[in-house]
Amino acid sequence: MSENRSRVTVHSKLTWVSSKPLGGKPHELSALDHAMALHTVHVIFYYRANPFERGLFDSDFSLSDLLCMYPPVMGRLARGDGGNWVVKCNDAGVRTLRASVGTTLDEWLRSADASEERDLTVWEDMPGDPIGCPALVFEGLMGTWLDELAIAMLGGRMGLSYVGSGAGAWIGRMDAVLGGRMDAVLVGRRGAVLVMLNEFEGGGLAIGLSCPHMLADPTCATLFFKSWTETNRGEPVCHPPIYHLPALNARRSLSTGINSIKYLETKSKSAESPSGKMATATFRLSHSIIKQCLAQIHDECPDATPFDLLAALFWIRIMRLKMPRHDQKHSLSICVDVRKPIHGPIPYGYFGNALHFSLLSMDAELLDTAGLGHVAGAVHRHVADLHEEELLSAMNWFESRKGENGQYAQPFMMYGPELTCISMEHMITPEGSTCESSMYEAAFRKGEEPVHMTYRIGNVEGEGLIMVMPSPEAGLARTVTVTLSEEQLAELCEDQAIMDLQPTMLLGGKM
């Protein structure tokens, strides 16, 4: 399947269940959840010491106890009555895989690239109704005629994707590409959350968590993981999950947020843009460098956050790499999480999607010539102007697209087609709060914090993705993950402005 041999070997697979039987009513998904149906979320935490050395069954029952609080995580996605997706809380459990990696942790962080990192989580493209997803994944355990058909179609664009966790769970819809040879549509129950434990040589563990974006966004996947570590340490869970927010379902007619609605409308109608081979690189920037840069742009933008700075910087550099078109506007899609630690209709613990996408446009010329400070200022103003009303009006818009029988409209690509920048600033603990929320506090045992964590969003199309995340080093340090086409990424890695920041390159592949 991959040209170079993967260094990850899966050696066992089982299902982890909660300590008490749960069950209950199906968990309904909101309009925004349905909109994210085409994507998947993958989170990988890297640890230097392996807290599960003695094997899963011998260790504490922390995951079993934790799962009692998360019935949707234990359940399976299925179409409910009325055609919308619901999570059937049937206690089916979290599929857990164990794998071993052929190198040490440090070697991996230095030399692995994005496609190898994919092997650390179960990478399943789970679209809504098939619209022709470019990626094909199959587990190779099937050994049925479907495998042969799949192999025959590798390398081309087809509408076949592996959905779910077992036999009878392939959705195949052949476009005209294949002349309608196979029109069998076999839909089974689809898996929800999968966890993979990868052991490195010489100690070290990478825990990969993947789930459909419909069920959870990166923030709540991280909070679930954090709750697991808290339960393992015997501490109470900081942010217990909240499943239903009446505020999200209330329909209000708002005059604000017209821009977002226009943006969403354009997005829904945009044609699929063919994307070539994408590659990813991770830049770790230290606290002192960011502080220096912020000081430099202090005159133009006094309140800039590291996100503003880095989003602006990377946007400018990436735009310079593309064919400069001076007559057009360049756009940056900014994705912000709308959860607020205190107050606000969407609390931290909300389990579901609370992401807001908005568009920031600038003239190409202005982008080229204006300084970093100016662009950072624009980003800052844009982000500061976002309120939860905008998200609610976006929700209203999704609701309004419901069909007559109450079924939500077809989902479309939410990440893309233009360059998307995701902010994880909300995960930084504000000073003086009681609960640490930064993901780098997620230690299974005291003192063993993760050395690195990666987010990946599945099925991203378009120009690329920039993610600005916290770093293990506290303060203003940040880690920036950039996904671009291969050539552009190679050039970006040698870009002078970025090299001036003395980034530590991680997971850049064997470059």
Which residues of the shown chain bind other proteins in the complex (CB under 8 A)? 12-21, 23, 56-57, 61, 64, 76, 90-93, 142, 144, 165-168, 188-189
CA distances from 324 to 330, 365, 366 (A): 10, 9, 12
**Minimum separation from the CB atom of position 189 to other proteins (A):** 8
Secondary structure (DSSP) of 284-309: EE-HHHHHHHHHHTTTT-TT--HHHH
**Minimum separation from the CB atom of position 98 to other proteins (A):** 10
Please, which residue, 74 or 209, has the CB nearer to other proteins? 74
Which residues does 342 contact at the CB level (< 8 Å), separation at least 6?
Answer: none
Sign for the CA dihedral angle at 266, 29, 216, 460 comes to negative
**Minimum separation from the CB atom of position 10 to other proteins (A):** 11
**Minimum separation from the CB atom of position 196 to other proteins (A):** 14
CA distances from 132 to 159, 172, 272, 312, 408 (A): 4, 10, 10, 33, 20
- Reduced to 3 states (helix: H, G, I; strand: E, B; else coil), residue 18 is coil
- How far apart, in whole angstroms, are the C-alpha atoms of residue 85 and residue 193? 15
C-alpha triplet 452, 287, 478: angle, nearest 5°: 40
Sign for the CA dihedral angle at 241, 121, 90, 247 comes to positive
Please, which residue, 67 or 375, has the CB nearer to other proteins? 67
**Minimum separation from the CB atom of position 467 to other proteins (A):** 33
- How far apart, in whole angstroms, are the C-alpha atoms of residue 19 and residue 67? 8
- How far apart, in whole angstroms, are the C-alpha atoms of residue 427 and residue 336? 11
Token digits of residue 410:
């077809």
The residue type found at 437 is S
**Minimum separation from the CB atom of position 458 to other proteins (A):** 22
Number of Cβ atoms within 10 Å of the Cβ of 487:
12
**Minimum separation from the CB atom of position 13 to other proteins (A):** 5
**Minimum separation from the CB atom of position 79 to other proteins (A):** 17
Please, which residue, 22 or 114, has the CB nearer to other proteins? 22
- Reduced to 3 states (helix: H, G, I; strand: E, B; else coil), residue 99 is strand
Q: Is 238 exposed, middle or buried (0-12, 13-18, 19+ CB in 10 A)?
A: middle
- How far apart, in whole angstroms, are the C-alpha atoms of residue 22 and residue 435? 28
Determine the angle formed by the axes of helices 287-296 and 306-321, rounding to 10 degrees: 80
Residue 443: closest CA among 96, 58, 47: 47
Please, which residue, 137 or 334, has the CB nearer to other proteins? 137
- Strand pairing category for 465-470 and 420-423: parallel
**Backbone Cα Rg of the chain:** 22
CA distances from 282 to 129, 156, 303, 466, 503 (A): 32, 29, 26, 10, 9
Please, which residue, 63 or 427, has the CB nearer to other proteins? 63
Please, which residue, 108 or 170, has the CB nearer to other proteins? 170
Beta bridge partners of 467: 422, 481
Beta bridge partners of 162: 170
Please, which residue, 25 or 510, has the CB nearer to other proteins? 25
**Minimum separation from the CB atom of position 170 to other proteins (A):** 12
**Minimum separation from the CB atom of position 198 to other proteins (A):** 17
Please, which residue, 56 or 182, has the CB nearer to other proteins? 56
**Minimum separation from the CB atom of position 229 to other proteins (A):** 18
Please, which residue, 166 or 203, has the CB nearer to other proteins? 166
Please, which residue, 93 or 306, has the CB nearer to other proteins? 93
Token digits of residue 372:
């970093």
Please, which residue, 137 or 422, has the CB nearer to other proteins? 137
